[in-house]
Structure formats: structure tokens, C-alpha cells
Amino acid sequence: MSPKTSRRRGVCSRERTTLNIEEFLPKKRSLWTYFVLEPLYKPVIEFFLSIGWHPNIISLFSLAFTVASVANFAFGRDYSSLFLGALLFELAYFFDCADGPVARATGRLTKLGMGLEVTGDSLRNYGALIGLTYRYVSLGKEWLILFAFIFITFYNGAMWVGYKRLVEGRNQHGRSEAVRHSGLLGKIETAFFSEDVPFWPLPILVELETLVFFILPLLNLGDWGIIVGAILSPVFLIGALI
């Protein structure tokens, strides 16, 4: 726990609402999160702080929405269940964006909370893919299993390579500033790792997840979501490697 968050532990809930929420948000957010969701969940974070909710409760709500989303994707057969599954998926992510800032603002960063975070992230994305695949296989589209396999393989690769490159980018201090900031690639790299830019300047996996598990199912195109994921996930892996 950082000194900044530990000093907040004794702050009463009414005083918390006067805090600058921005300082407790992740330093970098995806384009979708920063421009679409953040204006919506900042007031929600302030509300949670004002009523003194423990961040683990927020995480449990996110987990509950995730389970409900997967159930609707997997066992529903009409458009209403697909629509509801997509909304619940995004609502789960919405709450997932709120629990971390609340934990940092109140000094309640716990191992249980981190465990709920990892569990929620994994179940939300992998569960949504499994649920959608099961849904359409049950409707006679067995060939989607191949696309789901391709999607999850390259998605995993992009996720882990991207995380490794992010850590390396933050920890690499040996390069000269002239090299880092020269040319187009240098400017792109600077934008990616500079904390002065609060969002990633290019789409990351959050945008892919949003397209596959939220936008396309809302349009009654959940099967196409799996296909699009299989097509685009190799692109994201290549982007993480170069």
C-alpha cells in the first residue's frame, strides 16, 4: 500500500467525496474507458465513497453481473438474452473500473480484493467467449468452435506479450532520450508510456473485448463477434510484438 493511500484510511466518507478522483484512477486507460465510460463511472465512484462501501462489495457486484452475463449468453436462445448478456457484460466491466479507485482512495487494498479482480477479469472475458460459443454450437453452428479456438489462442498471446512489453517499457532506463523521442515510432512509444497522456493512443484489448462481447451482441451478431475476434486477435498480437 502506498503512503498516499494509507494516509486516506482515516478520512471520513463525507470528506472522501471532495477528493480528486483522477489521482486514484489508473495512469493509463483504454480509449473506450477514457472517453466513454469514465465520465459515467466517476460520479459512481464518488457515490460509493460517500456511502462508505467497501471495494470488495463492488467487486462482488461485478462478479455477479459477470455470472449473469455468461448465463444469458450460454443458455438464452432469443435476442433478448443476447442483448441482456451484452449489457451485463459491460456493467460488470463498469463496476470493475470502479472498485480499484475506491480501494486506493480508502486505503483498502487487500489480497482478497486483488483475487476478486483477477477472477472477475478472467471470468468476464473467457466466460463470455465460452458462453457465446456454447450458445451458437447449440444452435447448430459447430464450426464456430474453430474460430473460438483461434480467438482465445491469439488473445492470450496478445495479453501476455502486451503485459510483458508494458512492464519492460516502464522499467527500461538505458535508452537515450534522443533515441526514444526521435521519429514517428519514438513519438508513438513516448505517447504509450508517458504518464502525461492518460489514455492509450491506439486500441488495446479492451476495445476488442468491447466489440466482440458488447457491441456485436447488442446488434444480434454474437456469432460474428467470435469470428471478428478470431480475425482481429492476431493483429493485436502482432501489434504487441512489434
Is 110 strand, coil or helix? coil
Residue 188 placed within a domain: yes
Query: Does any domain span residue 23?
Result: yes
Long-range CB pairs of 87-91, under 8 A, 24+ apart, other chains included: 87/218, 89/65, 89/124, 89/128, 89/213, 89/214, 89/217, 90/210, 90/214, 91/65
- Asked whether 63 and 120 are in contact (CB, 8 A), the reply is yes
Q: Are 108 and 16 in contact (CB under 8 A)?
A: no
* Residue 90 is assigned to a structural domain of this protein: yes
pLDDT of res. 49: 93
Is residue 63 situated within a structural domain? yes
Q: Are 105 and 25 in contact (CB under 8 A)?
A: no
Decide if 1 is inside a domain: no
Question: 85 and 69 in contact (C-beta within 8 Å)?
Answer: yes
Whether residue 99 contacts residue 58, with contact meaning beta carbons closer than 8 Å, is answered with yes
pLDDT tens, position by position, 148-184: 999 999 999 998 887 776 666 555 544 434 334 444 5
Q: What is the CATH number of the domain that holds 78?
A: 1.20.120.1760
- Residue with the three cell numbers 436462445: 77
- Stated pTM of the model: 0.84
63 band by pLDDT with thresholds 50, 70 and 90: very high
> E strands within 184-233?
none
pLDDT of residue 66: 97
Residues present in the chain in total? 242
Residue 76 has pLDDT above 80, yes or no: yes
More confident residue, 13 or 135: 135
Asked if residue 3 belongs to a domain, the reply is no
In-domain check, residue 2:
no
Q: Which three cell numbers stand for residue 147?
A: 474460430
26-48 pLDDT per residue, tens: 888 999 999 999 999 999 999 99
Domains in the chain, number: 1
**DSSP string for 36-97:** IIHHHHHHHHHHHHHHT--HHHHHHHHHHHHHHHHHHHHH--SHHHHHHHHHHHHHHHHHHH
Contacts of 90 (CB under 8 A, 6+ apart): 210, 214
Domain containing residue 49: 8-241
Q: Is residue 236 part of a domain?
A: yes
